[in-house]
Amino acid sequence: MSQPGFLDQSLFAELAEKAAASPRGRQHHNFHQMEEPCHRMAVGLQPGTYIPPHRHLNADKAETLIVLRGTLGLLIFTETGEVVAKRVLKAGGDCLGVDLPPGTFHGLVVLEADSMMFECKAGPYRPVGEGEMASWAPREGEPGVAEYQAWMRAHFD
């Protein structure tokens, strides 16, 4: 039998440290096993991480994000890359999170160091598939990421 998993300051400190040391600027802590039908994770995020616009097309892949510490900027895009909504998600703020329906193009910008979010979506895990990464934005590691990320961040300046 599994043990309870706590979302506490000790976990947050560990994730912040690991995210800061990670080349990707983020670190996940899974509360689920990969084959479970509901995936639940805490994610430590640093401002340099790039979370490109993407969507989840499967009808069962709604995604809920709740900021536990720090601040994130959320951008919602049309099929062609136009920003149609933006929100600041802030622990203790007016808006703590979002529930994204399947098929919604979204991207995140980390606005505060050592930010933490809780993410929940249907499992099992599968890599992002055809049509789920935005064709109009660079993918992680591609040329143009720094410029695109700066453009995303400018929506929250």
Phi-psi label, residue 115: left if phi above 0, alpha if psi -120 to 50, beta otherwise: beta
pLDDT of residue 35: 86
pLDDT digits 0-9 by tens, 54-63: 999 988 889 9
Instruction: Specify if 137 maps to a domain.
Output: no
Instruction: Specify if 132 maps to a domain.
Output: no
Q: Is the dihedral of CA 22, 25, 29, 34 positive or negative?
A: negative
pLDDT digits 0-9 by tens, 2-27: 789 999 999 999 999 999 999 999 99
Length of the chain: 157
Whole-prediction pTM = 0.94
CA distance linking residue 97 with residue 119, whole number of Å: 10
Instruction: Specify if 45 maps to a domain.
Output: yes
**Domain containing residue 17: CATH number:** 2.60.120.10
Number of domains in the chain: 1
Domain that holds residue 112: 9-126+142-154
CA distance linking residue 36 with residue 13, whole number of Å: 27
Instruction: Specify if 20 maps to a domain.
Output: yes
Q: Cα torsion at 57, 150, 22, 19 (round to 10°)?
A: -80
